[in-house]
Amino acid sequence: MTKSRKSLYYVIDIITIIIFYFAFTYEGAKDNRFVLLIILFMAYLTMSMIKYFFSDNRVKAISLIIKILLLLFIEVNSKYAINYFIHAVYLLIMIDSTFLLNLRSSYIINFLSFIGSMYKFINLISINNTISNISQMFLFILINSLVIVILGFAKYHQEGREKIDNLYKELLKAHKKLQDYADKIKDLTVVEERNKIARDLHDTLGHDMTGLIMQLEMVSTMMDEDIDSAKNLMEDSKTNARSSLKKVREIVETFKDESEKSNDVDDIRELVDEFSRKTGISINFKVVGDKVIFGPDVTITLYRVIQEAMTNAVRHGRAKEISIVIMYDVDRIGFSIVDNGAGCDKVVEGYGLRGMKERVDLLGGELWYESKDGFQIGGNILLK
C-alpha cells in the first residue's frame, strides 16, 4: 500500500466517522436503540480497519460486503424513512471498493452497494406511492449509476496505468538482464580472443622458432666445413628471426585480420615450402579431389593445424620426412599429416594438440591422432 493510497483511506474513514456523527445526532437515538446503533457503528469501523492489515483481495471484498450489510441494518433501525447521512455512506463504500479491488470485483461490490442503498426507497414507495417519492428514488438511482460509471472509468484508467508501470518495470529488469548478459558475453569474448591470441602465438612463434633452431644447428655444423655457406645461412636466420618478431607484433598489437587469407590452399602451399626450405625436411604435399569453395575460416584452421603438425614433427619427433594430404569432398575437407619421426607410446595432449582440436571443433569438424611408426594427425572440417 502506497503512502498516497493510505492517506486517501484515512480521509475516507474520517469522513465516514463525521457522517455517522451527524447521522446519530439527527437520529436522536436513546437507550437500547442508541446502544445498538453504536455497536453497529463500531462493527462497521472494525471492517474498515481490515484493509490496513490484510492484503488479500478476498478478505477486503468480504469486509466490504459485511459493511454493506451493517449499513443496511443501521438503516433498518433508523426512525426515519430515509436518513440521508447514512445513505451517503454507500457512496463512500463504492469509492473504497474502487481503490481496494480490481475492476471486476469493484463493479460487483458497487452493484451490491447500489442495491442496498435502494432498500429504503423501495420500502418508502411500498408504503407511500407518490410521484415525489418515485422521482426522488429515480434521482438517487441516476446519481448512484453515474457514480458507479465514473468510478469504473477511474478504475479502468488506474489499472491501465498500473499495467504500464509494471510493463516498464519488467522492461527495466529485462534491460538489466540483457546488460548483464552483454557484459558476460563481453567477458567471454575477451577470454576467447585471449585464447585465440595465445594459440596464434604458439602456432606462429613455435613454428618459426623450430625452423630457426634447425637453421642455427646447420650453421653450427657448417662452420668448420663451409664458412661462406654458414654465413649465408646465418643471414637467413637473422631474416627469419626478424620476420618472426614482426609476426608476433602483428598478433599482439593489431590482432592480425586472418580473413584476408585466400580461400584456397595457396597460403598453405607457401607455408609448407618455406618450412621445408628452412628446416631441410622433405615434405610431400598434395591435394586430392575436385576443388570446392570454402570460407577463410576453413583456410585459417587448415593453415594452423598443418603449421602446428609440421612444427611438432620436427621439434618432438625429429622427423626427416612429412606427408601432407588435403582431400576435397562435397560437404567437408579432410586432411592428413604423417611423419616418420620417433613417435611415442603414450601421447600427452599439450597446448599445440589441444589448440588444433579447438580450432577444428569450432567449425563442427573432428581431429584425431596416433603415434605409430611416427606420428599421424587426421580429421575433417565441415563446409557450411
Sequence ranges of the chain with CATH classification 3.30.565.10:
263-384
Mean pLDDT of 217-222: 78
Mean pLDDT of 172-199: 71
Give Cα separations from 69 to 41, 97, 144 (angstroms).
12, 15, 18
344-380 pLDDT per residue, tens = 777 777 777 888 888 899 888 999 999 878 899 999 9
- pLDDT of 156 > 60? The answer is yes
Query: What is the structure's pLDDT at 193?
Result: 64
Query: What is the structure's pLDDT at 337?
Result: 95
257-294 pLDDT per residue, tens = 444 555 568 888 988 998 898 888 999 999 998 888 78
Mean pLDDT of 115-127: 80
Task: Name which of 192-196, 207-211, 269-273, 331-335 the model is least confident about.
Answer: 192-196
Mean pLDDT of 177-198: 68
Could you tell me the three cell numbers for 298?
Answer: 576453413
- pLDDT of 253 > 60? The answer is no
- pLDDT of 242 > 90? The answer is no
If one compares 248 and 114, the residue with the highest pLDDT of the two is 114
Q: What is the DSSP letter of 260?
A: G
Assign 256 a pLDDT band (cuts: 50, 70, 90): very low
Mean model confidence pLDDT for the chain: 82
Contacts 24+ apart (CB under 8 A), 172-181: none
The CA distance from 75 to 350, in Å, is 93
Query: What is the structure's pLDDT at 203?
Result: 66
Measured in residues, the chain has a length of: 384
Query: What is the structure's pLDDT at 255?
Result: 47
What is 263-384's CATH topology? Heat Shock Protein 90 (3.30.565)
Q: Residues near 101 by Cβ (< 8 Å), separated by ≥ 6?
A: 57, 60, 61, 64, 109
Query: What is the structure's pLDDT at 174?
Result: 83
**Torsion angle in degrees (nearest 10) through CA of 208, 211, 214, 216:** -60
Q: Residues near 234 by Cβ (< 8 Å), separated by ≥ 6?
A: 219
Mean pLDDT of 238-262: 61
32-65 pLDDT per residue, tens = 888 888 898 899 889 888 888 888 888 888 999 9
128-142 pLDDT per residue, tens = 778 887 888 888 888
Query: What is the structure's pLDDT at 57?
Result: 83
Query: What is the structure's pLDDT at 379?
Result: 94
Mean pLDDT of 323-335: 92
Query: What is the structure's pLDDT at 200?
Result: 67
